[in-house]
């Protein structure tokens, strides 16, 4: 049941909210939590009734191992329990990624709008698996206090973030689920949540799904053997660059908005990554919770930047390799990730050399920031071609067309859809408009939360008539286009 659908918006979500707060208002906190778990399992099982059983099995194993690690269950070596938990989760994940290959279904790359394998791969398997790995590691480190099975089950199954992320740590939401005030209805939470949901819905339906048609047109033609013109190749590459951003960012905004309707604040997952002036900054803004997981649970334990350039670079490239495999065991994902890893390593080396030569570095001038922004955006766009292509030969063909290395066919020969006006519009949105975190600053910024409106910028959200009208406009325009909604890109991962 996708977020951008009539049954979810007009039936499932209102019903779940109403019963949740009805039970909470009567002081039945555990009852409200159980209701939310059952609703989340129903939501997850709407595409396949087997999926909730798989999810519950994963939860039972990880919760039990967490008890062993805390020595709440019976005395076993804590390190052995942690190793068993990590092995179980990674085997579970790798098994579903590799199993189709045993049957002769070899994934070659990105598969648009369809399930990539003809087997029942649980949706969002990668998301909830690595989230539970983080839980076990944090428990081992003593960063997670004891909690009931119900709270842990709610932490894993909470439907707003189950399919789209963000990737959570228990300490970020565990205390929130235990707070009795969360189960009390607050009109301002509903207002802010609806606004954020409407903005995300607009991004997904009006921006991502519309520009996705132009990306599909170019990549589909190239996959069938067509030689694209330079204009067609760049149009396809840029179209997908904006499609994947607005698709993922929009879905995440919807997830954060729904969670806030329940009074749960989730971490923001995007921070204007296309405004980055280097690849290091890009990965600090793109899918931030995945980058944070890789940094805290892989990169730093491997030595981080404490072991010298060589080991730092090797660890960085290895982490990016795992990010590629997380998306799937396809050559396109692996090449895309390794390319990012090598270029990010070189970016770190350059920053270190520059800082060593400038003892008191001044802020970069505007022209240098913009030059870095344009260069970074271009590199990211080129690498998205590898990610989006169904196989490596298609990626090579498109990249050659973008570089002008192909003999060019006549304009219009391939019947590829091009709309430059939309590309300019989306570039302006990404570069010059505030992102949803900035718009909802009083929600996501701890220093601003709960303060008065004095000093607010005019475009920052507040509970007033102007923002109610803006949210209604986003919502209504999106509803008019729900019939043509496309599947969420990251469902296949």
148, 254: one domain: no
- The answer, yes or no, to whether the previous bond of 166 is cis (omega within 30 of 0) is yes
Total domains in the fold of the chain:
2
Q: Give CA–CA dist 262/32, Å, rounded.
A: 11
220, 163: one domain: no
> What confidence tier does 360 reach under pLDDT thresholds 50, 70, 90?
low
Residue 151 forms part of a structural domain: yes
Residue 170 forms part of a structural domain: yes
Q: Which residue in the list 327, 348, 359, 406 is annotated as catalytic?
A: 327
Residue 332 forms part of a structural domain: no
Residue 295 forms part of a structural domain: no
Residue 291 forms part of a structural domain: no
Is the pLDDT reported for residue 343 higher than 80?
yes
- pLDDT of res. 118: 44
Residue 287 annotated as catalytic: no
Which one, of 11, 484, 40, 478, lies nearest residue 255 by Cα? 40
> What confidence tier does 421 reach under pLDDT thresholds 50, 70, 90?
confident
Residue 284 forms part of a structural domain: no
pLDDT cut 90: percent of the chain above it = 38
Element (DSSP H or E) covering residue 288: helix 288-294
Is the pLDDT reported for residue 197 higher than 80?
yes
44, 119: one domain: yes
Q: What is the mean pLDDT of residues 423-431?
A: 92
Q: Look at residue 452 and give its three-state secondary structure.
A: coil
Question: Where does a domain end: 141, 170, 185?
Answer: 185
180, 193: one domain: no
Instruction: Quick: pLDDT tens for 295-317.
Output: 888 888 877 777 777 777 888 88
Single pTM value for the model: 0.89
Instruction: Quick: pLDDT tens for 242-262.
Output: 999 999 999 999 999 999 999
- pLDDT of res. 375: 95
The Cα-based distances of 264 to 55, 177, 366, 462 in angstroms read 22, 8, 38, 18
Residue 310 forms part of a structural domain: no
- pLDDT of res. 273: 93
169, 202: one domain: no
Instruction: Quick: pLDDT tens for 169-182.
Output: 888 888 888 888 99
Q: What is the mean pLDDT of the chain?
A: 85
Instruction: Quick: pLDDT tens for 199-237.
Output: 999 999 999 999 988 998 899 989 888 888 888 899 999
Contact (CB, 8 A) for 238 and 192: no
- pLDDT of res. 415: 67
pLDDT cut 70: percent of the chain above it = 87
Contact (CB, 8 A) for 303 and 312: yes
Is the pLDDT reported for residue 275 higher than 50?
yes
Question: Where does a domain end: 164, 185, 206?
Answer: 185
Instruction: Quick: pLDDT tens for 462-481.
Output: 888 888 999 999 999 999 98
Residue 250 forms part of a structural domain: yes
Q: What range defines the domain where residue 378 resides?
A: 189-277+364-446+458-492
179, 222: one domain: no
178, 220: one domain: no
User: Which residues are CB-contacts of 229 (< 8 A; sequence separation ≥ 6)?
Assistant: 401, 408, 409, 411, 413, 414
Is the pLDDT reported for residue 487 higher than 90?
no
272, 418: one domain: yes
Question: Where does a domain end: 152, 168, 185?
Answer: 185
21, 164: one domain: yes
264, 390: one domain: yes
101, 164: one domain: yes
Instruction: Quick: pLDDT tens for 104-155.
Output: 455 556 766 544 444 456 667 778 888 899 999 998 888 887 678 999 999 9
205, 152: one domain: no
Which one, of 21, 116, 82, 4, lies nearest residue 484 by Cα? 4
């Amino acid at each position: 049941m996708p977020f951008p659908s009539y049954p979810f918006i007009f039936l499932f979500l209102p019903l779940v909210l109403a019963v949740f707060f009805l039970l909470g208002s009567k002081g039945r906190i555990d009852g409200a939590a159980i209701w939310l778990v059952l609703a989340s399992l129903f939501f997850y099982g709407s595409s396949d009734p087997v999926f909730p059983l798989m999810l519950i099995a994963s939860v039972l194993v990880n919760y039990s191992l967490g008890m062993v690690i805390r020595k709440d269950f019976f005395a076993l070596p804590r390190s052995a329990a942690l190793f068993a938990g990590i092995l179980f989760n990674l085997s579970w994940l790798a098994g579903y990624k590799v199993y189709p290959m045993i049957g002769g279904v070899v994934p070659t790359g990105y598969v648009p709008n369809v399930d990539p394998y003809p087997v029942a791969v649980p949706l969002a398997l990668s998301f909830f698996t690595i989230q539970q790995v983080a839980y076990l590691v944090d428990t081992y480190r003593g960063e997670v206090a004891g909690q009931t099975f119900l709270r842990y089950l709610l932490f894993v199954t909470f439907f707003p973030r189950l399919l789209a992320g963000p990737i959570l740590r228990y300490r970020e939401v565990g205390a929130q689920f235990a707070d009795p005030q969360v189960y009390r209805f607050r009109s301002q939470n509903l207002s802010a949540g609806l606004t954020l949901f409407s903005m995300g819905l607009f991004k997904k339906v009006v921006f991502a799904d519309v520009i996705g048609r132009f990306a599909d047109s170019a990549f589909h033609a190239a996959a069938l053997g067509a030689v694209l013109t330079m204009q067609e190749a760049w149009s396809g590459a840029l179209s997908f660059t904006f499609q994947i951003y607005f698709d993922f960012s929009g879905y995440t905004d919807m997830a954060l908005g729904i969670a806030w309707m329940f009074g749960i604040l989730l971490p923001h997952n995007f921070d204007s990554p296309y405004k980055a002036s280097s690849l290091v900054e890009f990965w600090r803004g793109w899918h931030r919770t995945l980058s944070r997981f890789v940094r805290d649970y892989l990169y730093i334990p491997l030595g981080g930047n404490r072991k010298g350039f060589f080991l730092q670079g090797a660890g960085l490239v290895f982490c990016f390799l795992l990010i590629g495999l997380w998306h799937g065991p396809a050559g396109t994902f692996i090449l895309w990730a390794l390319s990012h890893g090598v270029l990010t390593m070189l970016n770190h080396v350059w920053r270190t050399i520059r800082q060593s030569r400038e003892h008191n570095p001044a802020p970069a001038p505007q022209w240098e920031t913009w030059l870095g922004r344009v260069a970074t955006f271009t590199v990211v766009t080129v690498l998205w071609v590898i990610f989006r292509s169904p196989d490596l030969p298609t990626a090579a063909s498109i990249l050659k067309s973008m570089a002008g290395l192909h003999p060019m066919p006549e304009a219009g020969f391939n019947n590829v859809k091009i709309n430059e006006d939309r590309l300019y519009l989306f570039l302006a949105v990404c570069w010059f408009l505030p992102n949803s975190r900035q718009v909802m600053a009083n929600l996501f910024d701890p220093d601003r939360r709960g303060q008065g409106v004095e000093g607010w910028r005019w475009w920052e959200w507040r509970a007033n008539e102007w923002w109610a009208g803006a949210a209604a406009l986003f919502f209504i325009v999106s509803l008019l286009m729900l019939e043509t909604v496309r599947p969420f890109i990251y469902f296949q991962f």
